[in-house]
Amino acid sequence: MDLIDKFSTTVRGVLPLFSTDTDSLIERFKGTTLEAYGSSAKSRLPLPPTSGQWNGMEPNTLLRVLCYRNDESATRFLKKTYNLPKKL
């Protein structure tokens, strides 16, 4: 039961991100990335490393949710920031 509780807590923290509007996710991603990597990241946001931790306030999780989005704002942000293609 402890394993289920552990992972259900993680899921409860991540699932709401999928219903959050894209602009809010982008702002949260920028904020958490700058917080994690300092002000030197202002010129260009670094690609966050894969931490293995799924968390609603972790830059890699936020980036993955943005990549999952199929909307114009997310596509434009990812293309401009990381030069990612529209389709992966």
Give per-residue pLDDT as tens, 4-24. Answer: 888 888 889 899 999 999 999
Domain count, the chain: 1
Angstrom distance (rounded) from CA 26 to CA 32: 10
Angstrom distance (rounded) from CA 51 to CA 76: 25
Q: Considering the entire predicted model, what is its pTM? A: 0.84
pLDDT for residue 72 is more than 50? yes
88 is a domain residue: no
Angstrom distance (rounded) from CA 77 to CA 33: 14
pLDDT mean over 55-81: 93
The pLDDT of residue 39 is 67
* Between residues 41 and 23, the one the model is more confident about: 23
pLDDT for residue 59 is more than 90? yes
77 is a domain residue: yes
CB-based burial of residue 71 (10 Å sphere; 0-12 exposed, 13-18 middle, 19+ buried)? exposed
35 is a domain residue: yes
